[in-house]
Amino acid sequence: MLLAVDVGNTVISLGIYDQKELRAEWHVSADRRKTSDQYGLLFMSLLEHQGFQVSDVHAVAISSSVPPLVPTLEWMCQKYFHLKPLVIGPGVRTGVVIRYDNPREVGPDRIVIAAAAFEKYGGPAVVVDFGTATIFDAISAKGEYLGGIIAPGVAISVEALFQHAAKLPRIELVKPPSVLARNTVHSMQSGVIFGFAGQVDALVERLVEQLGGPEAGVKVVATGDMAEVLASETRSIQAVDPYLSLEGLRIIYERQRPKGEH
């Protein structure tokens, strides 16, 4: 089985694959202070809780937006799984051509998502990833990574309101009863949910025009923590795929193996 590990700035997503089947997935906090032993024991306990053994894992693939965590996780894999992980980065056959001014600036998480989006939905495509930042990725009809947009994330925007406006409370990120709110909590929820939905539609519309316009048949896919909440409030998002990064890791891992090997 393959253990796919996608490291974000705030959350680590893990999935265990039996060939193409995602058998289980987990989300844990990304903490740079944790040691390789702490991560090793945590990953082992998650696997065992779902009925898997460490020996069931025959390969590990890692994508990380947090470079300092990479050596920690590499050492963890070697010590607890007795495996050298595949770390997405330069020299790895991803199958994604990068059309960026400086390809090394493109995070591994963007490449993983581009690989999965093109494999599953074809191109051209736009992926909206609701994470620590809200990131829009543009993929060409040939599967090339063309670039994208980085905007503030939903959660950090709400936290900024709480931290810098003395009378505003922390709120639950759910849809309010109406866009026209009559109390502070609903007012904040309206601004966040409907405001971010409007931002998504406006930016996707501009990206679609650059990808050939509506007649090009651009697919728009959402992923990330807030995808389910926000997608239904947009006009532009056509599909929600919460496991896109894990799927991308599986796909890229498969591309490293000799043809015909299973």
**How many Å apart are CA 59 and CA 162, to the nearest integer?**
42
The dihedral formed by the CA atoms of 76, 78, 79 and 81, expressed in degrees to the nearest 10? 90
**pLDDT tens digit sequence for 206-241:** 999 999 999 999 999 999 988 998 999 999 999 999
The structural domains of the chain, with segments of one domain joined by +, span 2-87, 103-248
Local confidence band at 262 (pLDDT 50, 70, 90 cut-offs): low
Concerning whether 109 is annotated as a catalytic residue, the answer is yes
Q: Where are the beta strands (DSSP E) in 38-186?
A: 59-64, 86-87, 125-130, 133-139, 145-152
- Among 6, 31, 56, 109, which one carries the catalytic annotation? 109
- Closest alpha carbon to 245 in 107, 143, 124: 107
**pLDDT tens digit sequence for 134-154:** 999 999 999 999 999 999 988
Q: Which residues neighbour 94 within 8 Å (Cβ) at sequence distance 6 or greater? A: 88, 111, 112, 115, 252, 255
HSE-CB for 261 with a 13 A CA cutoff: 7
> Are the CB atoms for 60 and 5 separated by under 8 Å?
yes
**How many Å apart are CA 77 and CA 36, to the nearest integer?**
8
> Residue 162: what pLDDT?
79
Q: Which residues neighbour 185 within 8 Å (Cβ) at sequence distance 6 or greater? A: 169, 171, 176
Q: Which of 22-36, 83-97, 167-181 has the lowest mean pLDDT?
A: 167-181
Structure tokens at 139: 């993929």
Average of per-residue pLDDT values in the chain: 93
Topology (CATH level 3) of domain 2-87: Nucleotidyltransferase; domain 5 (3.30.420)
Same fold yes or no, 2-87 and 103-248? yes
> Residue 25: what pLDDT?
96
**pLDDT tens digit sequence for 109-125:** 999 999 999 999 999 99
Question: 224: helix, coil or strand?
Answer: strand
Is the Cα dihedral 47, 52, 53, 58 positive or negative?
negative
Burial classification of residue 44, based on how many CB atoms lie within 10 Å of its CB (0-12 exposed, 13-18 middle, 19 or more buried)? middle
Q: Which residue has the tokens 């700035």?
A: 9
CATH number of 103-248: 3.30.420.40
**How many Å apart are CA 149 and CA 135, to the nearest integer?**
6
**How many Å apart are CA 228 and CA 226, to the nearest integer?**
6
